[in-house]
Structure 1
Amino acid sequence: MNEEFNLDQTTLVNAWQQQLPEHLGPGESAQVLADLGDPQGIRLHIEASGHQMYSFDFQCSYMDPREVRVDLVDVECDGLTVDEHTENIQEMTQDYVRHIHECAQALHRITNLS
């Protein structure tokens, strides 16, 4: 970490749970959980809109109060793991990563207080 960053993980999870849906499209939903392996991290489960039945799991770790590292953990379609290397999945993943970074920027007012 570049800067000291000590924000209560519960506060972080609650803030993300409130803010992230504002950065997603209509019909998309997100669940935010504490990352039990990283006290500065969260896990994001995003349900895609439409009839595609895709869900995406991301691991999100704070590098400093402004910057998050986002890693795709898993993509499922109707409960089954799918190949995340297809063009459609790659495009959707890039969109979600962008939305996650936008959310992190919007939450800077909270993370910068630590």
Structure 2
Amino acid sequence: MNRDLQLDQQQLVSAWQERLPALMEDGDSFTVQGDAADRTSLLIHFNAAGHQDYSLDFRCTYVDSREVAVNLIDVEQAGRHIDEHTDAVQGLAQQYARQIHECAQALKDITNP
């Protein structure tokens, strides 16, 4: 962890809320909030479009000003916890993780001034 990393969590949340929609599939929705336990992390909740009613929660932690670590925290279908190891869920998780990394790259001007 880079102790010199200075992030304004609220500014990051706002920037993510502005930038992430451009990277997402039509119909998908999301929420972004700061992780109260770690000022270098964001909690991102995705609702997948379609009839499967999947929602996935990720923790995005800034390792340094350019790199993020993305961890899948939880997967639900129709409000119930499900196995995240199914092909459908793994595909969604990979897609959302890629979008998180793309968004972090797009916002590097904020994290690496």
Q: Tell me the equivalent position of 1:71.
A: 71
Query: TM-score when scaled to structure 2?
Result: 0.95
Q: In 2, are the aligned partners of 1:46 and 1:55 still within 8 Å (CA)?
A: yes
Q: In 2, are the aligned partners of 1:3 and 1:65 still within 8 Å (CA)?
A: no
Query: Partners of 1:86 and 1:40 in 2: how far apart?
Result: 30
Q: In 2, are the aligned partners of 1:75 and 1:81 still within 8 Å (CA)?
A: yes
Match status 1:104 vs 2:109: no
Higher mean C-alpha displacement, 70-79 vs 3-12: 3-12
Q: Tell me the equivalent position of 2:8.
A: 8
Q: Give how far 1:3 is off.
A: 6.8
Query: TM-score when scaled to structure 1?
Result: 0.95
Q: Give how far 1:2 is off.
A: 4.2
Superposition map of 1:16-27 within 5 A: 16-27=16-27
Query: Partners of 1:3 and 1:22 in 2: how far apart?
Result: 31
CA RMSD of aligned residues (A): 1.0
Amino acid at match of 1:26: D
Q: In 2, are the aligned partners of 1:60 and 1:71 still within 8 Å (CA)?
A: yes
Structure 2, unaligned runs of 5 or more: none
Q: Give how far 1:4 is off.
A: 2.1
Query: Partners of 1:103 and 1:48 in 2: how far apart?
Result: 18
Match status 1:81 vs 2:81: yes
Q: Give how far 1:19 is off.
A: 0.9
- The secondary structure found in structure 1 opposite 2:58 is strand
Query: Partners of 1:67 and 1:102 in 2: how far apart?
Result: 11
Cα distance per residue 1:48-106 (max 9 Å; x no partner): 01111110100110000110000000011110011001111111101110110000000
Percent of aligned pairs sharing the same letter:
50
Question: How many residues align structurally?
Answer: 113
